[in-house]
Structure 1
């Protein structure tokens, strides 16, 4: 079980960061959705609920989402509904249940780089940056590849409002279960981003598949070929939900079908 010696609710990110680096086993607590999972001794659990990080706002060029925003907020946001064919809401609405989605936070999910995350896959298909307290703004794909070089606090994520069309799909053994595989694809003026997650490792871009489509354009034949390339360039693992071979086959099907859906938005 998880034991917590002290519980802190700092009112600023600076105060939270100073607490975080004070001891090695101090942690930012997020929504605490997984408190009953695993075994860990936490000296100080740092709760950011008083630091004003629960928001979804837009300006002329970007949508900004605070770290303490919940997946439930993402699901029901009228702002997000206006963009990207509501792909972010679609990416979270099958996650376990309403109660969990109202607890799990954007910051906890993204900073932890969970391999099973549907939400991260949706974000990766968009032009997304993360804002860290010490390291500043970096692209989400770079953050996922490199991780954090030092202990840090994720303050927010920002998404460029570039009018791209997007779609999300996943395969589950049952409703509410974690995905066996998930795929998110976007298209902006013939340039595609193809993200594949729950491999069961963290989401990645299918760069060779994207390059093929971006160079050759969309057609049903090219969609099939791009799906084949994605399934062959990415690596897949085996866990209780599915084998690596099954995930490779799913990748082909989901990428092909999701490409068709995105193209349907363009027609």
Structure 2
């Protein structure tokens, strides 16, 4: 299989991704958390997206407002006029995905499309902001990712869904062919272990690189684990501890 051409999303080399921004105060996926990551120097942000009942894309991990905000209800069943009243941690409003894409024009954004409700609104937000060159569309569902990408006028970077990543992992462990599972994607964004058991091996990383694909690992918050993964050759790390990740990369001359 011929490797796909590199997308501009990857043109900065190693990718440190701030997971839902950077907040030690429970303000995940808020504009304040994203700004904190940008202020640390991060140029890769990771976020999640749902669509409201009236077709507005919001940056929020959960399907409901209940855990992270002072509001209640399933986002896909609520109008934007209701969702925008909720406050993350009782303080910060739920951001429009369009605002995340538009506020920092030099920042790349990894968008995990969490539900069918997000497909059309996410595509529309990318189109309105013209953010194609600095967006990676991800989803646990390959079908949901493809449905989003199919609505775009220009290519974006794409990440493996759960089924694609699983086929790649099993094939790598058993020494079977793995390239077919990577046909539709640019990057494997995967956990490096399941529970306490590491599952990502240097063989996996080598096979992905031979196929012209990058490997990003989530969610890594300990310094020694970051160090180990960088030594193994991964191309990016997703972390809640953007401060520690920056220190590690600075110490290696990779920042």
Output the TM-score relative to the length of structure 1. 0.28
Q: Max radius of gyration: which structure? A: 1
Output the TM-score relative to the length of structure 2. 0.29
